[in-house]
Amino acid sequence: MSQAEWTAVDDYLVDALLEADPVLDAALADSDAAGLPQIAVAPNQGKLLMLLAQACGARRILEIGTLGGYSTIWLARALPADGRLVSLEYDPKHAEVARKNLARAGFADRAEVRVGRGVDLLPQVEGPIDFTFIDADKASNPDYFSGALGLSRPGSLIVVDNVVRGGAVTDPNGDANVQGIRRMNAMIAAEPRVSATAVQTVGSKGWDGFCLIRVVS
Ligand code: SAH
Ligand code: DHB
Ligand code: MG
């Protein structure tokens, strides 16, 4: 199987199951125009995040790694009218693009982008958080996992993006990102408060995967 085939299948799935989405199209167009990297989740992945957040009845959502707010908009769509979302982003330019995209999507009142390093901002986030999406610098995943766990309550869900990285995750001597993912996995395995799995994905974003963590106590 090749990237062209994975992309063709994603194109088909998105066409078959997702509605036309001018607000998200505009968010991506403005992200591109501002020169942001094209590393947002795919549309079918974004909708998966929304469905997972809805399935656990999330009223308070935390995201680490906003970029242009594409995944943020999907997550905000899971919120009830009085719900809240906080997204943490290191790059002020990314945050500015994201705030405009969130405002156009109608979430200026519910979704807030905070600028700084995730590890520095996490201590100021108010819990409890029902759903966390971790998608920033992968080297910090151990800190993001413990921060998210500390903000969680029993029943909360934590989802981590990019945990396979084209298979690189199997290399014990991999780069800092791989080390971050592997150390996070070891922490998860040793943590009695959570139950977790990870799944590989192929699609328009290549070969990667999600880790799904349910906080049980
Ligand atoms: N969640 C987005 C994609 C995020 S890309 C989506 O799917 O639409 C990763 C983002 O994490 C980038 O915007 C990058 O600037 C940000 N980032 C990198 N290091 C960070 C850090 N230490 N703290 C917070 N954000 C960081
Ligand atoms: C990268 C980061 C991401 O969050 C992603 O989904 C894909 C790639 C990266 O840093 O290369
Ligand atoms: Mg990602």
Instruction: Among 38, 48, 67, say which to mutate for ligand 1: greatest number of ligand atoms within 8 Å of CB.
Output: 67
- The pLDDT of residue 129: 99
pLDDT given for residue 202 in this prediction: 98
Q: Which fold has domain 3-215?
A: Rossmann fold (3.40.50)
Contacts of the segment 197-202: beta carbons below 8 A, 24+ positions apart: 198/163, 198/164, 200/164, 201/45, 201/164, 202/1, 202/6
39 lines ligand 2 (CB under 6 A): yes
Q: Is 135 in the pocket of ligand 2 (CB under 6 A)?
A: yes
Of 78, 76, 6, 77, the residue nearest 42 (C-alpha) = 6
**According to the model, what pLDDT value does residue 203 have?**
98
**Which residue has a Cα nearest atom 1 of ligand 2?**
39
* 39, two tokens: 């590393």
- What are the angstrom distances between the C-alpha of 76 and each of 46, 59, 189? 11, 10, 30
Instruction: Kindly state the DSSP code that residue 212 receives in the 8-state scheme.
Output: E
Specify the pLDDT at position 1. 81
Ligand 2 mean position, distance from CA 158 (Å): 18
Report the predicted TM-score, pTM, of the whole model to 2 decimal places. 0.99
Ligand 2 atom nearest residue 67's Cα: 4
Which pLDDT score, from 0 to 100, does residue 169 have?
98
- Give the model confidence (pLDDT) of 5-30 as tens digits: 999 999 999 999 999 999 999 999 99
3-state class (DSSP) for residue 115: strand
Question: What is the C-alpha to C-alpha distance for residues 207 and 51, in angstroms, rounded to an integer?
Answer: 22
Q: Compute how many other C-beta atoms are within 10 angstroms of the C-beta atom of residue 101.
A: 27
Count other C-beta atoms under 10 Å from residue 121's C-beta: 18
pLDDT tens for each residue of 198-211: 999 999 999 999 99
- The pLDDT value given to residue 82: 97
Residues of the chain with pLDDT under 50: none
What are the extents of the domains in the chain?
A: 3-215
Contact 13, 38 (CB under 8 A): no
